[in-house]
Amino acid sequence: MSWIPQDLSSLCAVHTSITNCSPSTFLFLKLIATLFGGSRDAEDEYLSGFGNFHNFHGAIEQEEFDFIVVGAGSAGCVLANRLTEIEKWNVLLLEAGGEEPEAADIPAFPPIMQGSSIDWQYLTQPSSTSCRSRTNGRCSWARGKAMGGSSTINYMIYMRGSPLDYDEWAAMGNTGWKYTDVLPYFIKSEDNRNLDRVEAYYHGVGGYLTVENFPYQDVNIRTIIDGFRELGLDEFDQNTERLIGTMLLQTTSRDGERLSSNGAFIRPIRNKRDNLTIRTRTYVTRIIIDPDTKVTLGVEYQDKHGNVKQAFARKEVLVSAGSINSPKLLMLSGIGPYEELSQHEIPVLKELSVGYNLHDHTTLDGLVFALSNKTSTDVDDEQRDSDVRYYQQTHRGPLSSTGPLQVNAFVQTLYANGDRPDVQYSFDSTNVGNYLEDVVLTAETNNQPLCYYNAITVRPILLNPISRGVIRLNNSDPVFGDPLIYANTFSERLDLLTITEGIKQALNLLRTSKLQDAGYQLVDIPLPSCSHHDFGSDDYWMCIATEYTTTLYHPVGTCKMGPKNDKDAVVDAKLRVYGIKNLRVIDASIMPNIIRGNTNAPTIMIAEKASDLIKNAWLKAEAHVYTAPYDVTEKNYK
């Protein structure tokens, strides 16, 4: 199945002059689908599980593996790679989406990927404290639905967070998760090609995951970095032991192409390791657990034809479906809050706080710097199409980067405690005409490459939110319906005060000679929902944050890691689900507190560490003679 771009027809049905809804945009998306709609992995689909068995007489087919990994995202791809390093272990990797399309490889295309056929297209539930001016009061939470998961649609930023974040995890009772414990796993994955520009002690070479700067940077990138330097921020590698400062971002890319976890960890071994089976477009509906012994036996899923199948795990089932779908799957399987499961008539096998502790890196639309003709990178349709074909031939040019999103800065507001930042800055490309015409529709229909822009949306990002949300099952269709996301963003006033201070600090950039010389200007026309406030006042910016809320797409925490005495914990420090044997959750949902930085690299680290935890447990067990597999399981999981 080819990649399908976002359907703009209904969104663009209203009368509008924004370029996102122009005929040229529709033609451009058609060109992208034609040139890049296929997948370099598509030929593997038959070999990876489709068409090589049949459902006779409606019987549920059954197979057996050593390990079953649910979800081929940032974590699942790492697990599938590392566990199949043990030749005697057979691993089944199940992914609800299809193969990764070539269109996703183009660094400037994340906005085009979001809302397309490789996005779950989740929406939050309406709230009185956030997203109020979005359509129906709901914010978009894009999540990847393809091989590579969200690493196939994200912005490719490689950022580890503060060492103190991991020390905090350990201090909460999670033994083995201090910074000194996890740093080797960051290094293990990495093949860093910027060692002349970063501190080599903290980086690795020769790993599966290439980390480098993009080959293309336009003039605005250096201007913004120099502006931060003029404000007193040092420029240095923020993947070390300090964060407060600025840098040209390192990215998960290779030679001008995106490098998803699929591209990094699966593509090099696919069809080379006989002990790895991959099945795409398989929708796991429940984990099979013995209700008496609480031993995990396997999973039940539907294939792309709607056939119900079962796969059994001799050792473990590893859930890596992400912070939205991992808690959903646990709850569908009888693991979760009693009230939630009872409401849906799901027998409760283990009552745990599954779905709670949801938090995210929140930001906003509404702080925009307009550019002069000197620094605008806008091009006409003919030049844009020419750049596409040039990229196709060379993997170079403007499309080989993410425009101004290559700049990063961390700062402290007056609400920060200790030595860690509480606000991060990201710089997103935009069109000032579209923004002024309809900021909400512009966001919902954004299919413009990141490299073409005449204005920059400055995004202050709340790094350490206090507000917490929850994931619940769909009331109408808990199995196949979208889970209900109650983000509860800005439900704690301190979060709103902090992001407002972040906005005010960002405005200092406009006072620097670097931005003044380049002709940057604040777009000071109030947005409609906040026009009753004085533009630039604290009340105005707090209104912007609650009305035009958006996200960095970093949800975490819904299967919280914690010690046994933590009533909110779902998994222990070895990521084993409490009270259920042979079941682990391995993805960003286990983070007890979100790290101060982008979450893709830490999620890969979590999977690297988990792979060693699994190997150490089972290889040690297999070195001894035993007759019943559950004897060893109970010993290890007591």
Q: Which residue has the tokens 């890049």?
A: 36
Pairing of strands 368-370, 521-522: antiparallel
Q: What is the DSSP letter of 417?
A: -
Spatial distance between the Cα atoms of 237 and 354, rounded to a whole number of angstroms: 36
Residue 95: CB atoms within 10 A of its CB come to 32
The answer to whether the beta carbons of residues 582 and 633 sit under 8 Å apart is yes
Across the chain, which distance is largest between two alpha carbons, in Å?
A: 76
Spatial distance between the Cα atoms of 548 and 278, rounded to a whole number of angstroms: 40
Angle between helices 179-189 and 600-622 (to 10 degrees): 100
Q: Which residue has the tokens 């027998």?
A: 347
User: How far lies 617's CA from each of 65, 128, 630, in Å?
Assistant: 17, 47, 13
Q: Is 568 helix (H, G, I), strand (E, B) or coil?
A: coil
Q: Which residue has the tokens 């999670």?
A: 174
- Residue 522: strand pairing partners: 369
Spatial distance between the Cα atoms of 589 and 323, rounded to a whole number of angstroms: 4
Q: Is 382 helix (H, G, I), strand (E, B) or coil?
A: helix
Active-site residue identified among 305, 395, 554, 624: 554
Q: 54: exposed, middle or buried (C-beta count within 10 Å: 0-12, 13-18, 19+)? A: exposed
Closest CA to 359 of 439, 506, 209, 469: 469
Q: Which two tokens stand for residue 40?
A: 């370099």
Closest CA to 75 of 149, 145, 143, 142: 149
Query: Is-catalytic flag, 15?
Result: no
Spatial distance between the Cα atoms of 580 and 526, rounded to a whole number of angstroms: 53
The answer to whether the beta carbons of residues 425 and 413 sit under 8 Å apart is no
Q: Is 619 helix (H, G, I), strand (E, B) or coil?
A: helix
User: Could you give phi then psi for residue 611, rounded to 5 degrees?
Assistant: -60, -40
Spatial distance between the Cα atoms of 400 and 194, rounded to a whole number of angstroms: 17
Spatial distance between the Cα atoms of 422 and 414, rounded to a whole number of angstroms: 9
With a CB cutoff of 8 Å and minimum separation 6, the contacts of 572 are 561, 562, 563, 564, 578
Q: What DSSP string runs through 315-333?
A: EEEEE-SHHHHHHHHHHHT
Residues designated as active site: 554
